[in-house]
Structure 1
């Protein structure tokens, strides 16, 4: 029996907890031309399942007869890549229509632009894209563009600005972007992209702990592996509801478990579990923090208890309350910390406190 857990990034896992409703809702909303979900921003911390959700939605929409899905990367030639991808993914019937558009030529080798290189301006790309959308619309085909882990580059901003224009002209085009909260906020607050403030937003947060418990119990039972309730609770606590941790811990335990998972089994995988979390997620998370944010999380990590008071942080950092409030809000928005009660803070990610303290030994 193959391992049903998948800690690889980007692939839709076999066990996709608490996300089925989101995929179904968004897939249905996209088919309503008046839905605010025609433009959707999906945000959350690294490893929360944004890419898997986007992949699942893209697959479901691609399976529909009247939809064409293009997955864009944040690269230099966004518009050219989009046009090329549309042509490549179109059916033979649609390709014959696209081949009649002035400025492009389809062949067995792909798409060729009939403009000279110096003539390929953003305006020409816009005209080509509008002509392509006209051909698609004539066949009642809608276009869904997805951009994963969006970066607010000039090219992406230009494309989103053009997308707004295409929406105003009633083209059947939709856009879903995933990204870290701070990067999506930067796009939304751009002077010419404020229309994104009115787009639908989907926050991917922690998985339901009871769902994790039942999933572990049922999945391992299919392999004939017994787990006591106490061990199950310990497994769930180790994930802290973090989607990547749920997949990673399940994967590691599946690889070594025979007939029973005990506390000793958990201890056996603990080292690899923590090392993989640090290497694949936490290193990058810390690297992206500003110097002040970094000082904030270090002060939290050094606190004697998992839950830290703002009064303690104010004393440790030697900063006034209003100064800390700004960085507290940034880290809350980034979903790295949460506030379980007024004046209280704790990390959202499992073993993040331990990871910070361990690295301080080497890099302090």
Structure 2
């Protein structure tokens, strides 16, 4: 029997990248076609656990497969310093064999002085644009390009993102083969785009990551199980898919827990899936729901608490009444929560949640709130009854 094939940890690439194949293929084309494409400057927006980092990993793999140089970073306070002092000097030393040849052609140089001169050629500098330009020139000499990915983009580090976007703008104007793909939560991306120094990114292709369809979810569960040497009963597969609501984190968590429920059995049963689903929903609460609420204001949470009283989409007027405020006042928080990606419009005057099982989590933890689904229209609206005794 093989090891558990599922990967419920953040950023870990699952065994089957269901539902993202077309996106990865589009990026792969931009790295091999030699032609400029809109995807070469892209921003991926999505909720926690929707698969942003996993998609970045796949895009980086596609770029490496085409021979491109890849700079994979996370947005942080020392980003520019890390790039100019460590990352770019290392890449330049790795990919610029001509640096050594140029100094050899100079003639009459001892091996000691030669090493010194090569090191000086790629010494750490503070000029980010200059170093990126040199790396792009080296890549062009080898007929490839440079991909920069930036994960977890947020407004607190906009002063680090600003010089990077300015450098990228100049590199594209000089027609270098350079691509940039950033990823972050919806509200964080919007915050960065509002900065005057990041106007270049406002022209980026926005990729909104959604949940998987029912067919994609079943494939993401079924194929790894079969490849690893086990089977899953048809009823169990359907239950697992419906319990996940197509949410990638839940797909991996339910698959992983179901596999571990009775590892000695050849077939994963509905009983194992029900137990796994309950456990996965608790994990979703601590790993996805709780962090999503941390930065909200008290009034934001009150708005969500008011929504939790409904079993489906909430009328804004009802939410305002429960909050004890005017509808106009409640509308301000409606907008804030839509920007944060926690709720969405559900028709005229209505809102609904975007994270699976958030309503249940908030009701349970007395922070009250709710959520419907993020799955596409092909997903059934009914949810499996996991409370049924095993």
**Structures share fold, TM-score greater than 0.5:** yes
Say if 2:150 and 2:183, in contact at 8 Å, map to a contact too: yes
Q: In the TM superposition, what whole-angstrom CA distance separates every residue of 1:261-300 from its partner, at most 9, and x where no partner exists?
A: 4553334234432331122222111102233322221221
CA 215–166 in structure 1, closer or farther in 2 if over 3 Å, else same: closer
1:212–1:241 CA contact under 8 A, matched in 2: yes
Cα distance in 2 between the residues matched to 1:32 and 1:318: 59
Which residue of structure 1 aligns with residue 13 of structure 2?
Answer: 12
Seen in structure 2, the aligned counterparts of structure 1 residues 312 and 142 have a Cα distance that, compared at 3 Å, is same
- Look up the match of 1:227: 233
> Is 265-274 or 152-161 further displaced after alignment?
265-274
Stretches of structure 2 that go unaligned for 5 or more consecutive residues are 104-112, 369-390
How much does 1:346 deviate? 2.7
Structure 2 partner of 1:28: 29
1:353 is the counterpart of 2:362: no
Q: Is the CA contact 2:165–2:200 (under 8 Å) kept in the aligned structure 1?
A: no
Give the match's secondary structure for 2:149. strand
- 2:214 maps to what in 1? 209
Matched residues in 2 for 1:339 and 1:298: separation? 17
2:53 to 51, 54, 71: 51
Where do 5+ consecutive residues of structure 1 fail to align?
none
Kindly indicate whether the alpha-carbon contact (under 8 Å) linking 1:43 and 1:179 is maintained by their aligned counterparts in 2. Answer: yes
Q: Distance in 2 between matches of 1:107 and 1:345?
A: 64
Preserved contact between residue 207 and residue 243 of structure 1 (Cα < 8 Å):
yes
1:145 corresponds to which of 140, 143, 148: 148
Distance 1:27 1:314 in 2: 48
With structure 2 as the length reference, what TM-score do the two structures score?
Answer: 0.79
Please name the residue that 1:155 is paired with: 160
TM-score, scaled to structure 1: 0.84
**Counterparts in 2 of 1:111-122, with a 5 A limit?**
122=126
Contact kept in structure 2, 1:252 and 1:269, CA below 8 Å = yes
Measured at CA, do residues 62 and 341 of structure 1 come closer, stay the same or move farther in structure 2, by a change above 3 Å?
Answer: same
In 2, the alpha carbon distance for the partners of 1:156 and 1:237 equals: 39
Task: Output the CA distance in 2 between the equivalents of 1:180 and 1:254.
Answer: 30
Q: Does 1:60 align with 2:62?
A: yes
Residue in 2 that maps onto 1:177: 182
After TM superposition, the structure 1 = structure 2 runs for residues 70-149 of structure 1, keeping only pairs within 5 Å, are 70-83=71-84, 84-89=86-91, 94-97=96-99, 122=126, 124-149=127-152
Kindly state the Cα deviation for residue 164 of structure 1 after the two structures are TM-superposed. 1.8
Q: Is the 8 A contact 2:233 2:268 kept in 1?
A: yes
Say whether residues 1:324 and 2:324 are aligned partners: no
User: Aligned pair in 2 of structure 1 residues 132, 313: CA closer, same or farther (>3 Å)?
Assistant: same
Could you say what the CA RMSD is over the residues aligned between the two structures, in angstroms? 3.2
